[in-house]
Amino acid sequence: MKFKTLCGILLLCVAFSYGALAQTPVNQIGNVTAVKVDGQQINLSLNNAEAQIIVYSANIIRVRVDRKKLGDDFSYAVTGKAQKVKTIITQSDSSISISTDSLKAIVRKKPFLISFYTVDGKLINEDDKGLSTSWAGDAVTSYKKMQDDEHFIGLGEKTGNLDRKGSGYTNWNSDVYGYAVSADPLYSTIPFYMGLHHDLNYGIFLDNTYQSDFNFGASNNRFSSFGARGGILNYYFIYHKRVADIIRSYTDLTGRMPMPPLWSLGYQQNRYSYYPETEVMRIANTLREKKIPADGITLDIHYMDAYKLFTWNKDRFPNPLKMNTELNKLGFKTTVIVDPGIKVEKGAGAYERGIRDNVYIKYPDGEPYTGQVWPGWCNFPDFTSIKGRAWWRNEVKFFSESGVSGIWNDMNEIATWGQKMPDNVLFDYDGKPTSHLQAHNVYGLQMARSSYEGAREQFKERPFILTRSGYAGLQRYTALWTGDNRGEDDHMLAGVRLINSLGLSGVAFAGMDIGGFTGNPTTALYTRWIALGAFTPYFRNHTALNTKAAEPWSFGEDVLDIARNYISLRYQLMPYIYAGFYEAAQSGLPVMRSLAINYTHDPKILDTQFQNQYEFGNAFMVAPFESAKEFGKVYFPAGTWYDLYSDGLQRGNEEKIIQLAINKLPVFVKGGSIIPQQSLVQSTSQKPGDTLTVHVYKGEVSNSFVYYEDDGKSYAYEKGVFYKRQISFDPVLKEIVFHQIEGSYKSNFRFLKIALHGFGATSSISVNQQQKNLIDDKFAWMGVSNNPDLQANPNAPESCTIKSILIKNEDGAITLKY
């Protein structure tokens, strides 16, 4: 009897076990049970979900999936609208076919699976047939079959290798002081990546603001995946033949940067912290006395009264407007830091105005959430509400009245002491109330948006906005820097990859703290880093309170010479850099470019030996190395390359070991490049000389460059007050053409000096069919030949001899034949 009872119990246990397996905690999406086609949109009912597939453009297909009824469509990231394009949708009992002129998708019904193909039938991307889309609790994940030899790039501010394959990442904006070079997550969330395989490229943007997770074959050899801890699966699939066009389409969706103020592209001298006013003026005057070109001084939290926002410490800064006016006269603009926390203090102006206007985020019982940061216990404006953003825009008037030109948004992850903001804090989310879980990752984006919109309303000129935290689309409002890095070689190189990855993800205006924020860099590292900084979009020297001073003169005369050389080179290249920002504003292409953009399927560019190499604009290739290295291996992609300093020629598709020197950052110029250069100025407020030098490097393929000018400070460019001219080089026709001018702005330059590199014994050139003689011209990008105010120094790299000619900058087309 006992034996029978025991057997019965065992059978029940087995049955229960099988039942438990049947009732798996992972819920699959199921089969398609109903299909409704409405123009370019397909609505699907499934066993366990609803789905929607929308043809957004000829190259973009959007997929939305939810276990519940699909609700309102709302996004803080996406501003682009669906386009009406030729779309063919057909279906059978087993599948649905969706085709445009550029892309084809097949939806299988049993179970739901989606695959993407080129129009000629090549597989680009497909759901994993056994996994597809599923839920584990509230978390939804899409699993994609990993293709043979597939590689992954992008995902914004992420550490690690250029190639993300084999790694996994989490998006949850975090305050990570002095982070390790392998730390994840960091400060911002951009859930957009690109997959590369078999000469095919695609992009996937997951627009979900909950904590999201991406797996590119980490701990598995079967799939890549992306998903979020809440909300719906909502992604855009983008296909183009070129990575550059995928970035264009992604920024068609999420927007592009406005033209920045010209001064923000100059050298920025920062410190945590410069105070009092006399110290600020000492720094500014020393930069001028030592002829170090510079445009910006940044004030950290010590400018405030006890760290309280919208205040000045009157002992340290008795008359901020007067100080900023004096700085403006010296050619400096002031940027000040702002944190979101408003100190809880009865009678304090900002706090009381926030209470009056009911703008703070709250607990469910209606009490404002209180967290501790620099001023003490603080409340936090709800930037996801219309009235919260309006309140902040009005408060920004405080900075306009103080003569400030830039706003630096910090601690906006939200960061609080303890780093454990409760999940049950409530946000308005533009009329769709939600918890901290959904609002966290967009808080920094919405703060930066509020600062930008407030400054645009209140400031007389274009503002500079900087942020530490953000979400996809942040480029519409702000630049971003990579946070509290460390004064170490691996951080310098990690910073290069972070900026390149941000550029692949739509953020063209980005930078890192030159020299490292925490710790003390060696003299060699500082020297290498500041030279490298001249070839980054946002050029900011910044260090912490408890570190050694890091101004260019702080490391001795030799370092000062080298720093001054590279900062001066940056200012000579300002026409080239400004045109690069114009391209970013028009196309989304970054200023600092991973080689993956132009040389996508060259396997060498993903090699960890060469992954730090990058292009600055479309002309320069920079090869960074650790500061203590004496030799380095450089890979030259296809084409012809010139040594920046000597004009030495190098064939493409080759590796070369080069000798490294502390006074010479390895920089090379692509054959066919066109590079405009102005005379040296000490700030962008100073007018350069009346001659624009246009360097043309002979190459084997045609190239063009869009030269661009405007006043650098107003919004008149939005009404056509700009000067734009395409310059082209054609080695087959043997001509250089300055095309017809567009826009109503008058150029700063009356003359053009055409500087020819690699044109050999060419002695004359025809200008609009009139033959002109070329002259031999000894040229150096850096040093005494371009800086007559300084004595020659041994720290300037070598010079070379080129051919040149001076012509008048005429409004009509100018054709030069060699």
Looking at the domain assignment, is residue 364 inside a domain? no
Q: Which of 576, 592, 608 is the last residue of a domain?
A: 592
d(Cα 612, Cα 500) in Å, to the nearest integer? Answer: 9
Q: Is the same domain home to 48 and 190?
A: yes
DSSP-derived secondary structure letter, 260: P
Model confidence pLDDT, tens digit, residues 242-269: 999 999 999 999 999 999 999 999 999 9
Residue 120 has pLDDT above 90, yes or no: yes
Looking at the domain assignment, is residue 204 inside a domain? yes
d(Cα 444, Cα 466) in Å, to the nearest integer? Answer: 11
Looking at the domain assignment, is residue 144 inside a domain? yes
DSSP character string of 635-697: EE-SSEEEETTT--EEESSEEEEEE-BTTB--EEEETT-EEEE----SSTTSPPPSEEEEEEE
- What does DSSP say about strands 764-767 and 751-757: parallel, antiparallel, or unpaired? unpaired
Looking at the domain assignment, is residue 370 inside a domain? no
Strands (E), 570-630: 592-594, 614-616, 620-622
d(Cα 115, Cα 107) in Å, to the nearest integer? Answer: 7
Q: What mean pLDDT is predicted for residues 611-634?
A: 98
Q: Is the same domain home to 174 and 320?
A: no
Which residues lie closer than 8 Å to 536 by C-beta, 6 or more apart? 499, 510, 511, 512, 592, 616
Backbone angles phi and psi of 265, in degrees to 5: -90, -10
Q: Which two tokens stand for residue 652?
A: 């493409």
Q: What is the per-residue pLDDT for 785?
A: 42
Say how many C-beta atoms besides its own lie within 10 A of residue 474's C-beta. 35
d(Cα 582, Cα 591) in Å, to the nearest integer? Answer: 9
Looking at the domain assignment, is residue 781 inside a domain? no
* Residue showing tokens 């009157």: 314
Q: Is the same domain home to 226 and 315?
A: no
Model confidence pLDDT, tens digit, residues 726-743: 999 999 999 999 999 999
Which residues lie closer than 8 Å to 788 by C-beta, 6 or more apart? none
Q: What mean pLDDT is predicted for residues 668-697?
A: 98
Strands (E), 23-81: 26-28, 32-38, 41-46, 50-57, 60-66
Strands (E), 230-280: 233-240, 268-269
Q: Are 159 and 182 in contact (CB under 8 A)?
A: yes
What are the C-alpha distances in Å from 228 to residues 157, 166, 171, 191, 424? 18, 19, 9, 10, 18
What are the C-alpha distances in Å from 754 to residues 255, 450, 664, 775? 36, 45, 25, 11
Q: Is the same domain home to 273 and 209?
A: no
Residue 44 has pLDDT above 80, yes or no: yes
Q: What is the per-residue pLDDT for 597?
A: 98
Model confidence pLDDT, tens digit, residues 474-513: 999 999 999 999 999 999 999 999 999 999 999 999 999 9
Q: Is the same domain home to 237 and 282?
A: no
d(Cα 38, Cα 43) in Å, to the nearest integer? Answer: 8
DSSP-derived secondary structure letter, 689: P
pLDDT tier at 782 (50, 70, 90 boundaries)?
confident
Q: What is the per-residue pLDDT for 10?
A: 38
Residue 393 has pLDDT above 80, yes or no: yes
Which residues lie closer than 8 Å to 803 by C-beta, 6 or more apart? 755, 756, 759, 762, 763, 774, 775, 776, 777
Give the DSSP H or E segment for 249: helix 243-254
Q: Are 288 and 330 in contact (CB under 8 A)?
A: yes
Q: Could you tell me the residue range of the domain that residue 548 belongs to? A: 262-336+389-411+443-592
d(Cα 800, Cα 470) in Å, to the nearest integer? Answer: 45
Q: Is the same domain home to 154 and 236?
A: yes
Q: What mean pLDDT is predicted for residues 83-96?
A: 98
Q: Considering Cα of 449, then 544, then 154, then 26, what sign does the dihedral take? A: negative
DSSP-derived secondary structure letter, 463: -
Secondary structure of residue 775 in the 3-state scheme? strand
CATH number for the domain that contains residue 144: 2.60.40.1760
The type of residue at 564 is: R
Backbone angles phi and psi of 741, in degrees to 5: -75, 145
Looking at the domain assignment, is residue 12 inside a domain? no
Which residues lie closer than 8 Å to 665 by C-beta, 6 or more apart? 528, 531, 532, 534, 535, 566, 622, 624
Mean predicted lDDT score pLDDT of the chain: 95
Q: What is the per-residue pLDDT for 450?
A: 98
d(Cα 336, Cα 270) in Å, to the nearest integer? Answer: 10
Q: Which of 592, 609, 632 is the last residue of a domain?
A: 592
Q: Which two tokens stand for residue 144?
A: 């994609």
Looking at the domain assignment, is residue 324 inside a domain? yes
Backbone angles phi and psi of 480, in degrees to 5: -140, 140
Higher-pLDDT residue of 40, 761: 40
What are the C-alpha distances in Å from 252 to residues 102, 193, 195, 617? 17, 15, 19, 20
Q: What is the per-residue pLDDT for 792?
A: 55
pLDDT tier at 3 (50, 70, 90 boundaries)?
very low
Residue 17 has pLDDT above 50, yes or no: no
Q: Which of 190, 210, 241 is the last residue of a domain?
A: 241
Show which residues are catalytic.
410, 413, 484
Q: Are 677 and 705 in contact (CB under 8 A)?
A: no
Residue 591 has pLDDT above 90, yes or no: yes
Backbone angles phi and psi of 12, in degrees to 5: -65, -40
Domain count, the chain: 2
CATH number for the domain that contains residue 329: 3.20.20.80
Q: Is the same domain home to 289 and 142?
A: no
Q: Is the same domain home to 198 and 293?
A: no
Q: What is the per-residue pLDDT for 796?
A: 81
Q: Which two tokens stand for residue 269?
A: 């001298």
Q: Which two tokens stand for residue 745?
A: 């702005």
Residue 166 has pLDDT above 90, yes or no: yes
DSSP-derived secondary structure letter, 633: E
* Composition of the chain by helix, strand, coil, percent to 5: 25, 30, 45
Secondary structure of residue 475 in the 3-state scheme? helix
CA angle 296, 301, 305 (to 5 degrees): 120
Q: What is the per-residue pLDDT for 23?
A: 56
Q: Is the same domain home to 584 and 532?
A: yes
Looking at the domain assignment, is residue 518 inside a domain? yes
Q: Is the same domain home to 141 and 288?
A: no
d(Cα 282, Cα 288) in Å, to the nearest integer? Answer: 10
Q: Which of 722, 727, 690 is nearest to 707 (CA)?
A: 727
Residue 79's Cα: distance from chain center in Å? 18
Backbone angles phi and psi of 580, in degrees to 5: -65, -40
Model confidence pLDDT, tens digit, residues 513-570: 999 999 999 999 999 999 999 999 999 999 999 899 999 999 999 999 999 999 999 9
pLDDT tier at 793 (50, 70, 90 boundaries)?
low
- What does DSSP say about strands 540-541 and 268-269: parallel, antiparallel, or unpaired? parallel
Model confidence pLDDT, tens digit, residues 798-817: 889 999 999 999 999 999 99
What are the C-alpha distances in Å from 638 to residues 556, 695, 699, 701, 733? 40, 21, 11, 11, 22
Q: What mean pLDDT is predicted for residues 178-188?
A: 98
Q: What mean pLDDT is predicted for residues 6-19?
A: 37
Q: Is the same domain home to 550 and 521?
A: yes
Q: Is the same domain home to 209 and 305?
A: no
d(Cα 613, Cα 605) in Å, to the nearest integer? Answer: 8
d(Cα 504, Cα 500) in Å, to the nearest integer? Answer: 6
Q: Are 453 and 391 in contact (CB under 8 A)?
A: no
